Amino acid sequence: MKNEKALGAFMAKMAEARERLAELQEYVDDHMGESPDDITWGHTGSAEYFVAQLTQLTDWAFKRGEYAE
């Protein structure tokens, strides 16, 4: 295989990406580590930032928004 090393490195990064996604899913499922009873507008701002970063990644991945062709 011509690109065996590249494929191996790519697959390792994909495994790392899956781990990160699982961590993020747990984080979101746990209300970003906050008790729902303690949520303030500050937490809402943090959640907004979190979603903005995810949106940038998904827009890039799916060629939406500023990344649209």
The pTM (predicted TM-score) of the whole model is: 0.83
Q: Which residues contact 34 (CB under 8 A, 6 or more apart)?
A: 43
Amino acid letter for position 63: K
Short-list 56, 17, 30, CA closest to 66: 56
For the chain, the distance separating the N- and C-terminal CA atoms, rounded to the nearest angstrom, is 32
| CB atoms near residue 46 (< 10 Å) | 13
What pLDDT was estimated at residue 2? 84
**pLDDT single digits (tens) 8-39:** 999 999 999 999 999 999 999 999 999 999 99
Q: Which residues contact 12 (CB under 8 A, 6 or more apart)?
A: none
What pLDDT was estimated at residue 1? 72
